[in-house]
């Protein structure tokens, strides 16, 4: 049995809808809307003007301050507008609209294979390449990678997160299978930057093909990385749970992984790091799982950032029946969308379409004190009590219960037989206490 953490549970995956679908490249869209904020931190300043011509990889937004990340053109053509546009996380955000010239012309040097010996590069030089390429965490958090790779104290372990525990999603599985060598090249870069010896790649044990592909490639390249099978359990891919499962170390409340000597990066992020260093490629495209029982042909698509969700859905053959909900990401931690006229951003791991019967609401019942939410909470919190305080307005009573440590994984909501809207009440509590 694979390694794991306390709490959490098995959630029906529905990964079979897309997991055997090879990554295919979507045709270049005729127009993209590239938001100037696709990351945690300060929004970028536009570096282009309306009517300006750009190529694939042209930097169009400059990151500002310490925590920020630049953005690049994903198609070649003309900037037609810089305007507010729908955003899948922020609602609305300033975006650069580019109309394609149909040429798909790359910025000189972008995408050209470089026979770089990274041993000759300093940590600062590698971090600068990553910063210039606009790389952020592709697992969802979108935290700027150059900041994460420069922790304030030395770390001992690098953990690569290949758990992909959210139901329905399979983009990480596909890249581990199809791009294992490129992922490992990125891991070597990150290992050198952090100056760590110990590298663990954690993959849930329902992804045996990915585990095998990575182990074979590691043996072939004579690398000293370990691939560890993890129990398939939600939320195995959360950083703190991954660290507990792999190293039996606990990140204390309010602390970060580097406080226990660890940096965790998603597999997609290290792939992007490898491409930035060895292909001089900024982050202008990513793999997205487009899925759902009501989608005609679920797929894993390599997509240019800024392409609208509606175009991906159409490319997958459209919808059978009626779509009630569109979610960016997975069903547990994803974000519901008001429209399909939103662009793919760096953090778009998936687009999930749900029918009415899959989203049917249930009447909230009184808590029956069954304790299941307590057993399942991976952060060892008291979800029933916190939700009660949030619902009844007894906010101060929750002071000292570390409510901000709730990572909003939704596992307690999933298990609750009374269909309590626990997370809704906890979110309210968190906002009030903040």
Task: Find the binder of ligand SF4 among 95, 149, 196, 416 (CB under 6 A).
Answer: 416
Nearer to ligand SF4, 112 or 370 (CB): 370
Phi-psi region of 8 (alpha: psi -120 to 50; beta: other; left: phi over 0): left
Q: Give, rounded to a whole angstrom, the gap between the first and last alpha carbons of the chain.
A: 40
**Is 301 one of the binding residues for ligand SF4 (CB under 6 A)?**
no
CA atoms within 13 A on the CB side of 175: 27
In contact, 56 and 76? CB cutoff 8 Å: yes
In contact, 411 and 241? CB cutoff 8 Å: no
Strand partners, 300: 23, 289
Nearer to ligand SF4, 47 or 335 (CB): 335
CA atoms within 13 A on the CB side of 373: 27
Nearer to ligand SF4, 339 or 392 (CB): 392
**Is 379 one of the binding residues for ligand SF4 (CB under 6 A)?**
yes
DSSP 2: -
**Is 250 one of the binding residues for ligand SF4 (CB under 6 A)?**
no
Sequential DSSP letters for 370-392: --HHHHH-TT---HHHHHHHHHH
Nearer to ligand SF4, 270 or 415 (CB): 415
Nearer to ligand SF4, 226 or 407 (CB): 407
Does the CA dihedral 334-340-343-344 come out positive or negative? positive
**Is 401 one of the binding residues for ligand SF4 (CB under 6 A)?**
no
- What count of other Cβ atoms lies within 10 Å of the Cβ of residue 409? 24
Task: Find the binder of ligand SF4 among 234, 418, 425, 430 (CB under 6 A).
Answer: 418
**Is 372 one of the binding residues for ligand SF4 (CB under 6 A)?**
yes
**Is 381 one of the binding residues for ligand SF4 (CB under 6 A)?**
yes
Taking the complex as a whole, the smallest distance from the CB of residue 423 to ligand SF4 amounts, in Å, to: 5
Task: Find the binder of ligand SF4 among 42, 256, 407, 428 (CB under 6 A).
Answer: 407
| C-alpha–C-alpha distance, residues 66 and 158, integer Å | 23
| C-alpha–C-alpha distance, residues 64 and 47, integer Å | 12
Stretch that binds ligand SF4, among 37-45, 80-88, 355-363, 417-425 (CB under 6 A): 417-425
**Is 403 one of the binding residues for ligand SF4 (CB under 6 A)?**
no
**Is 184 one of the binding residues for ligand SF4 (CB under 6 A)?**
no
Taking the complex as a whole, the smallest distance from the CB of residue 401 to ligand SF4 amounts, in Å, to: 10
Stretch that binds ligand SF4, among 69-77, 254-262, 339-347, 405-413 (CB under 6 A): 405-413
In contact, 330 and 58? CB cutoff 8 Å: no
Looking up tokens 């290949």 gives 162
Stretch that binds ligand SF4, among 25-33, 109-117, 350-358, 380-388 (CB under 6 A): 380-388
Angstrom CA distances, 416 to 199, 260, 356, 357, 402, stand at 37, 33, 21, 19, 21
**Is 6 one of the binding residues for ligand SF4 (CB under 6 A)?**
no
Beta strand spans in 221-292 (E): 225-230, 262-266, 285-291
How many binding residues for ligand SF4 (CB under 6 A)? 29
**Is 288 one of the binding residues for ligand SF4 (CB under 6 A)?**
no
Taking the complex as a whole, the smallest distance from the CB of residue 408 to ligand SF4 amounts, in Å, to: 5
Specify burial of residue 366 (Cβ count, 10 A radius: 0-12, 13-18, 19+).
exposed
Task: Find the binder of ligand SF4 among 373, 389, 390, 430 (CB under 6 A).
Answer: 373
Taking the complex as a whole, the smallest distance from the CB of residue 266 to ligand SF4 amounts, in Å, to: 19
Taking the complex as a whole, the smallest distance from the CB of residue 231 to ligand SF4 amounts, in Å, to: 17
**Is 384 one of the binding residues for ligand SF4 (CB under 6 A)?**
yes
The residues that touch ligand SF4, with contacts defined as CB under 6 A, are 367-373, 376-379, 381, 383-384, 406-412, 415-418, 420, 422-423, 426
């Amino acid at each position: 049995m694979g390694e794991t953490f306390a709490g959490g549970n098995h959630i029906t995956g529905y990964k079979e809808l897309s997991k055997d679908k090879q990554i295919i490249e979507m045709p270049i869209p005729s127009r993209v809307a590239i938001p100037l904020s696709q990351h945690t931190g300060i929004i970028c300043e536009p570096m282009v003007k309306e009517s300006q011509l750009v190529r694939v990889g042209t930097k169009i937004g400059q990151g500002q301050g310490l925590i920020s990340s630049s953005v690049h053109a994903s198609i070649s053509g003309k900037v037609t507008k810089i305007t507010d546009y729908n955003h899948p996380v922020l609602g609305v955000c300033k975006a650069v609209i580019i109309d394609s010239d149909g040429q798909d012309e790359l910025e000189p040097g972008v995408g050209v294979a470089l026979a770089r010996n990274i041993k000759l590069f300093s940590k600062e030089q590698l971090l600068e390449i990553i910063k210039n390429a606009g790389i952020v965490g592709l697992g969802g958090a979108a935290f700027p990678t150059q900041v994460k790779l420069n922790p304030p104290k030395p770390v001992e372990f690098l953990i690569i997160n290949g758990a992909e525990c959210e139901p329905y999603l399979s983009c990480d599985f596909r890249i581990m299978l199809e791009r294992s060598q490129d992922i490992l090249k990125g891991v070597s870069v990150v290992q050198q930057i952090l100056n760590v010896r110990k590298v663990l790649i954690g993959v849930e044990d329902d992804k045996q093909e990915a585990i095998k592909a990575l182990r074979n490639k590691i043996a072939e390249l004579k690398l000293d990385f370990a691939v560890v099978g993890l129990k398939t359990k939600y939320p195995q891919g959360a950083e703190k749970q991954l660290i507990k499962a792999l190293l039996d170390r606990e990140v204390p409340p309010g602390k970060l992984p580097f406080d226990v000597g660890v940096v965790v990066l998603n597999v997609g992020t290290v792939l992007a790091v490898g491409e930035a260093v060895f292909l001089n490629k900024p982050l202008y495209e990513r793999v997205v799982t487009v899925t759902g029982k009501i989608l005609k042909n679920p797929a894993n698509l390599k997509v240019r950032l800024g392409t609208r969700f509606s175009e991906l859905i159409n490319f997958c053959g459209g919808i059978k029946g009626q779509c009630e909900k569109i979610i960016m990401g997975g069903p547990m931690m994803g974000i519901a969308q008001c429209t399909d006229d939103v662009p793919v951003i760096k953090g778009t791991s998936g687009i999930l379409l749900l029918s009415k019967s899959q989203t049917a609401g249930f009447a909230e019942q009184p808590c029956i004190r069954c304790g299941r939410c307590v057993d399942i909470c991976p952060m060892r919190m008291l979800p029933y009590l916190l939700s009660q305080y949030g619902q009844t307005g007894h906010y101060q009573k929750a002071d000292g219960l570390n409510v901000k440590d709730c990572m909003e994984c939704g596992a307690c909501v999933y298990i609750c037989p009374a269909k309590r809207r626990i997370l809704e009440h906890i979110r309210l509590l968190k906002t009030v206490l903040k």
